[in-house]
Amino acid sequence: MSPKEDAIDILVVGSGLAGLTAAITARQAGAELVLIAESQDVVGGSTRLCDGMILGANTRLQRKHGIEDSAKNFFNEYMAWTQWELPGGLIKAFTEESGPAIDWLEEQGVEFHDLVIYGGSENIPRGVVAKEKGQGIVNVLAAKAKSLDIDIAIGQPVKSLIIRDGAVVGAIVGDDEVFARSVILASGGYGANPVKVAKWWPNATSAGDWLWYMGADGAQGDALDFAEQANARISGFDRGLRLPHPNFVNAQEPYIPGWQIMVNAQGTRFVDESSPYGAVDRAFSLNDNKGFIIFDDQALHVDPDNEMPAYKQVVPAFGKRRSASWNVPMMEEMIEKGAITQANSIAELAQKLGISPEQLEHTIAQYNAGAAEGIDAFGKEAKFLRPVVQAPFYGKEIRPATIAATGTGPMIDNKARVVDHNGDPIPGLFAAGEATGGFLGYVYAGSGNSLAGCASFGRIAGKSAASTL
């Protein structure tokens, strides 16, 4: 029997948000035989570990709360945020699908908190938050897939594609050949693979042995291998999102507390410390990927019931956010261990940290003067400004060392078709989510960007693959 005669309709590689969305959408669009192959022993990929925030324009929740928005608004903001370096057709498809994708998730049974929040510094709030976070999204979609007779083969890694006459006709799944009329790559990124990080994202390796990945172990970059096998164009070199940490503990910690001061190796500030994490990551890249947190004794004597605001982004559904690294017990422990440098003056602190004493003294004096007036040279809100005046003084190196998302993978077009080096679609091959390239710029655009790409391009890929049957 020929591969075409023996083929299922669609094989989806990966069971995170992108894969589940693609499979369900394809089934709802008319595909009959849909199989999801998951390399790990649990469904959900990195989606199940996330906070469950998704960006979308003109959603049902926005309209309910009287928020006027449009895909055009989102497109213009996204392109400006990423410096207009991304393919406009791809981003147009994403922004147009972003709102309908969130509404579709609600229709499948995903419950969102009854609020719309800012994901970063966008002009219009677009962020919605799943009540049960990422795991809740996975649970709903996995149950939906089961109800539609979509099989999820867990513990079945895809080893290679099957390619005949330039077209993808299936894949080697485990020890079996599985022929399919279309294959959708939704296998996630490569954050858990140090070799691929070094190859495709060398900027991230500046963190040295501080570097760690906060996602699932299955994020091995399989889509990159498949892209090379299919002679696909790979896009997004040196792209992704990193979060800074001081190497105390490996914990998901998106933001630097706004009351902190951060300087570069020369002793000057280089970013509003309360900025969205995408902006902070980019600022690190422009400052040799190294910074120092500077604070004084006031930080160790805060009233838990009356402490300063720490974060610009407030998500009521998550409760009060506490820093894993910058809480009083942790800081006291690190000071005692010598992991945080202590000094009796700013000049002495600078010398111990290897920073110019004159420059750091000037930076702190300038910051303190602004704090007294409620005005900051970098535009930080007055509520985050606390002068650094009370000895002892403390400092700690900080690096962008937590990999949150990678941005390299096979390039797709506006129909989620993987393209070759000439930009032409490769027959039978689609991709969605973090497995793709060309979607993320050098600046990560707000919280919820990654899940939004998974849901939007998952839907686009599912519909596109089903339309070829």
Specify the fold of 242-402. Answer: Flavocytochrome C3; Chain A, domain 1 (3.90.700)
Are 13 and 174 in contact, with CB atoms under 8 Å apart?
no
Spatial CA neighbour of 353 closest among 344, 361, 364, 341: 341
d(CA 311, CA 318): 13
**pLDDT tier, 1 (very low <50, low <70, confident <90, very high otherwise):** very low
Are 125 and 67 in contact, with CB atoms under 8 Å apart?
yes
**pLDDT tier, 447 (very low <50, low <70, confident <90, very high otherwise):** confident
Per-domain boundaries in the chain: 8-239+407-467, 242-402
The identity of residue 346, as a single letter, is I
304 has pLDDT over 70: no
CATH of 8-239+407-467, one of 1.10.1740.110, 3.40.50.720, 3.30.565.10, 3.50.50.60: 3.50.50.60
Radius of gyration of the chain (CA): 23
Classify residue 301 by its DSSP letter.
Answer: S
**pLDDT tier, 291 (very low <50, low <70, confident <90, very high otherwise):** very high
321 has pLDDT over 80: no
Classify residue 391 by its DSSP letter.
Answer: S
The separation between the first and the last C-alpha atoms of the chain, rounded to the nearest angstrom, is 19
Are 19 and 184 in contact, with CB atoms under 8 Å apart?
yes
Q: What is the mean pLDDT of residues 93-97?
A: 98
d(CA 45, CA 39): 9
Any idea which residue has 């990966």 for tokens? Answer: 14
* pLDDT given for residue 176 in this prediction: 95
HSE (CB half, 13 Å, CA atoms) of 37? 27
**DSSP helix/strand/coil, 417:** strand
**DSSP helix/strand/coil, 293:** strand
Predicted model pTM: 0.94
Spatial CA neighbour of 428 closest among 87, 110, 169, 93: 169
411-433 pLDDT per residue, tens: 999 999 999 999 999 999 999 99
305-314 pLDDT per residue, tens: 666 667 766 6
Q: Give strand ranges (E) for 339-412.
A: 341-343, 393-406, 409-410
What is the maximum alpha-carbon separation in the chain? 81
240-281 pLDDT per residue, tens: 999 999 999 998 887 888 899 999 999 999 999 999 899 999
Are 63 and 126 in contact, with CB atoms under 8 Å apart?
no
388-400 pLDDT per residue, tens: 999 999 999 999 9
